[in-house]
Structure 1
């Protein structure tokens, strides 16, 4: 059997995971929960109330399709909520306890839920055997107990009737000394009583045989259903184990890829830092050159202004002197 059976006794230790595996499963489950949440957010919003459709509306295909779409959307949202909760519980449990009993509890809960839905599925799909799909083991034991009880009751009844017939025969022997009329009367009454008893015994035997035949027909069917259920559960467990193995492989592959990406980004960051330092150095050099050039230009401007002022003053003095001399 797979590891998802309900743990009892020493089997609890068999479900313990290694710290490395638990950490990987926890991170993978958390990532899966985030993916489920993202998918749910991308879907249309959840319908708060399922629309009611009258008998007349059922005849309209468009409204019926809209109703089915609404039900499907609500079912998808509910399933995504359940998946997200399962992944979050699994992530938390494997992170803290190195176990995955939450999956076991979920499977047991699903079994109980499927038992409640089995009758509806059997009526809806016309397959009566599915209604007993999740209780066949108990049903088989119950039929076997019923068969044993019927056999014991039959034997007890046969013994009681044989004792009653023996007692009647003794009474017949005892009344042989009575007068012929009374003897004939009591003989006829006893014969009638015996015939009635034999008829009742035959009827009861026939009913018991019918019950035995019915139980005999149901036992092979219950055995087949039990085998089918066992095969189905084994297949489900195998699929879940395969999925866990795939999740671990994918987690390891994704981890290695991300590590390579982180290494590449770290190398790129180092290169960018070197380029930035080089640019800062060159910027400082250029800025110092610009400052020197601006200082030289400012000095030349001031010098030119001073020369212009001197030239202007000299021109004024020369003009004044010429005017004065004339």
Structure 2
């Protein structure tokens, strides 16, 4: 492939890129020295003196990670410039730079898709967490209402016991039958209240188990959704590769069909030209035959007219026969 640049332009571009590579090398040395100095300061820093030191002296907590990222970016740009210099010096083209730009755009699009899907997963997780909080609040309110109801029943039980004691002391003077009936009634009421308390305790335990099962289900469902998200990402990548292959196949088939269509169009034009020439030849032949037929008909008409004229006027061979017949008659008379 011919170089799109002139020699002078190629020399200027190469000089600028070499200058950029040198500046990047100097920046890398400075950053490595900065990282080493930051590590030494972090190792020798005194924890007791941290509150009394300024933020600039301590350094930002994200500075090492930021320096590492800048170092990685510098290495990446340095490699790209080195590859571009080699390609310019070898062939005078910059295809490697275009490939790097295309790869970065594809990687950026993929990262954006991953971020969108991750945001969707986070939104779903937030919705599930809100639902779980609502369920917890509802269960807490139910438990609080039941605790109040149990306390009310206990108060009623205490009041009933107190009233029973007062009635017992009052009814002691009454007959034994009335005392026996009162005891039976109180015992029955107490039994019913105890059964109600036991029923409420059972319901509370059941609610606690249901809440635990609900939390476990939501956690399992969240883990399942995360697994499905990973599976969908893998399926998305496979589908993208398959669709790209289908597009390439369709492009090849389209190019092949276009060639076949052009060949068929060329054959059709040739056939149409042959048909037109054949039609012209047939038309000329038909006109020639029609002319010859008209000429023959005209000749036959002229011959018929002429024969009729000879017969009517007794000309030609018909006249000779008449003269010979007249001569024979004269001979016989003689």
TM-score range relative to shorter protein: 0.3 to 0.5
TM-score with structure 2 length normalisation?
0.36
Structure number with greater CO (CA < 8 Å, separation at least 6) is 1
Flag the structure with larger Rg.
2
TM-score normalised by the chain length of structure 1: 0.36
